[in-house]
Structure 1
Amino acid sequence: MVIESRASATSPALVLRRWCADDLDALLAAYRDPVLRRWTRVPATTAAEGRRWLDRVRDDWDDGSRYSFAVIEDGVDGPRLVANVVLKGAAPDRPAAEVGYWTASWARGRGIAPRAVTMLSRWAFDRFEALERLDLLHQVDNVASCRVAQKSGYLFQEVLPARPPFPLDGHRHTLTAP
């Protein structure tokens, strides 16, 4: 499964594709970033943790519970991992699902997350006929995720009360089917 965007005068092409075992080193490099680790729940800081992360992502695809994509940018030095986007809880008969993402430190501030979230959202609405709504959730102190949601066309809906493993209240942003 591959989803591609075209390059523009200001943005290189992005490719969303399934994660594979060859992505281990790039995954570990991304997880060296303490900011990324702050907002993620499943660690991938050692080779063993990274392999478990990749195995889980593969298993989730196979059972249809989650669809995680490696986001690859076609850069000057060749393709490079820049982010991860994920669709959670989608099923043929469910009207709502959730999207999530993270961006590698070397790719932040360049509009990659909104582009990747938008690509994933379009794919989700095309793939799941019954899907009417996508939610993007984040903690209230994650201002960058609020901006990504807005830039991706997700509208703020409500403040959600804190619940484990999240210590602070959150925001729910929603995108409805076109």
Structure 2
Amino acid sequence: MNIDFRRLSDSDADALVRFLTGERWPFHVIGEVDDATARQWVAEGRFASEENRSFWIVADGTPVGLVRLMDLADDTPMFDLRIEAAHRGSGIGAQAVTWLTRYLFTEFPEVRRVEGTTRQDNVPMRRVFLRCGYVKEAHYRDAWPAYDGTVHDTVGYAILRRDWTAGTVTLPPWDDDPID
């Protein structure tokens, strides 16, 4: 499967709304996006603004996912990844995270690190983070409200520019609590 990335344009608004409303997003706070919410997000610049850039994930000429890059004025941007259910588990997530990491470090020389979070129970995404050189840096208990009213733990991952450049992975010092 040939994967490509194409930046969203203003003419993509209706296609973006159809994409967001046409799927269930089980690991997002809003699991089912309605038309009005999707259009509001587009109008607010959530997908395209000075702080945000979004890209279609295109497989063999057809959009199958979306990469949204956020906080682009910061030295630590974050991202959101959505892949259509029919294409999940096919390796597209790892390709997308590899691509967005390279994109951010190449296009934004001031970026020192890239961060991403997911729910603790989103095992496939957690594997993608690790496969792509990201390191678990945080575990936030009861921090992710789900659309069904449940609350989940949030897990945070990041990759440092210096690790990406060197092809290494450095772990944070977990045993550094001060002891009285």
Change over 3 Å in CA distance of 1:23–1:80 after alignment to 2: farther
One-letter amino acid of the counterpart of residue 13, structure 1: I
Kindly indicate whether residue 32 of structure 2 is the aligned counterpart of residue 13 of structure 1: no
Please point out which of 61, 78, 84 is paired with 2:48: 61
Q: Which residue of 2 aligns with 1:6?
A: none
Q: Which residue of 1 aligns with 2:95?
A: 115
Give, as a single letter, the amino acid of the residue that structure 1 aligns with 2:28: W
Q: Using a 3 Å threshold, how does the CA distance of structure 1 residues 80 and 53 change in structure 2: closer, same or farther?
A: farther
| Aligned twin of 1:171 | 155
- Paired residue type of 2:41: W
CA RMSD of aligned residues (A): 2.5
- Separation in 2 of the partners of 1:87 and 1:26? 15
Does structure 1 residue 39 correspond to structure 2 residue 28?
Answer: yes
Secondary structure at the aligned position of 2:77 is classed as strand
Aligned to 1:84: 66
Largest Rg, 1 or 2: 2
Q: Which residue of 2 aligns with 1:71?
A: 57
Gaps of 5+ in 2: 166-180
Change (3 A) 1:60 1:86: closer
Structure 1, unaligned runs of 5 or more: 1-10
1:154 to 112, 128, 134: 134
Q: Structure 1 residues 24 and 148, CA, compared in 2 at 3 Å: closer, same or farther? A: farther
| Cα shift at 1:55 | 3.0
> By how many angstroms is 1:131 displaced?
0.8
Q: Distance in 2 between matches of 1:158 and 1:30?
A: 28
**If the length of structure 2 is used for normalisation, what is the TM-score?**
0.73
Partner of 1:8: none
Letter in 1 for 2:83: T
Q: Name the CA shift for 1:165/1:86 in 2 (closer, same or farther; >3 Å).
A: same
